[in-house]
Amino acid sequence: FADKTLAGKKVLLTAGPTFEPIDPVRGITNISSGKMGYALARACRDAGAEVVLVSGPTALAGPVGVERVDVTTAQQMHDAVMARAAASDVFVAVAAVADYRVANAAEHKLKKQGAAPTLELVENPDILAAVAALPNGPFCVGFAAESQHLIDFAEAKRQKKGVPLLVANLVQTAMGSDANEVVLLDDAGSHPLPIMTKDEVAVAIVRHLARQLTASQGQ
């Protein structure tokens, strides 16, 4: 990595799944491995940035030279991010955040007796949308994992969340795998990248975002 395109920049990232408790031993989560987010954290570090990685539960080792903040729930991830967002130059939301949490989580382990329990769900905060709405906030990059209509759904998401750069991928290719095939969406249109390892995809994303960041600061 000869070019330190993010030298002097503070980059905040989220990665991995979140875990929303049902009771002290059970919860709702998803199959995100955290690999793409961790690869991006390393690529940002290698590009010279000071990196903070807010991570949901994963089996991955924290990248050397990256500050890792471990969280469990979406609310904890939101709070950890909002405490650091204003001081960051770039925010990259890679985490697969649970859309809902259990409102009536039990204090004690649920027993199998009587009628089946009903889980009451309430919506979690949208971390990316919250950061993107900050006045003078960081340059925001989002991810969109879709299972169909990739470009249309992802571009709609980019507009709705108000982010300048969105990385779209098919869940079928991305989740859990070491490889990924993504399309970068920005104001100029869509930029498909070839299928590559997540480390290579991360380097390509950093290159693209560094260029956009420089252009936005030059205005």
Residues with active-site annotation: 30
Cα 179 from Cα 182, distance rounded (Å):
10
- DSSP state, 122? E
DSSP string, 150-190: HHHHHHHHHHHHT-SEEEEEEHHHHTT-SEE-EEEEETTEE
Q: In this complex, which beta carbon is closest to ligand C5P, that of residue 43 or of residue 144?
A: 144
* Residue 95 within binding range of ligand C5P, rule CB under 6 A: yes
* Residue 143 within binding range of ligand C5P, rule CB under 6 A: yes
Chain Cα centroid distance, residue 100: 16
> CB 160 → ligand C5P: shortest distance, Å?
8
* Residue 36 within binding range of ligand C5P, rule CB under 6 A: no
* Residue 127 within binding range of ligand C5P, rule CB under 6 A: yes
The partner residues of 53 in beta bridges, in order of sequence, read 13, 68
User: Which amino acid type is present at position 157?
Assistant: K
Q: Which of 44, 97, 174, 175 binds ligand C5P (CB under 6 A)?
A: 97
Q: In this complex, which beta carbon is closest to ligand C5P, that of residue 6 or of residue 145?
A: 145
Residue numbering of the annotated binding site: 99, 109, 125-128, 143, 157, 161
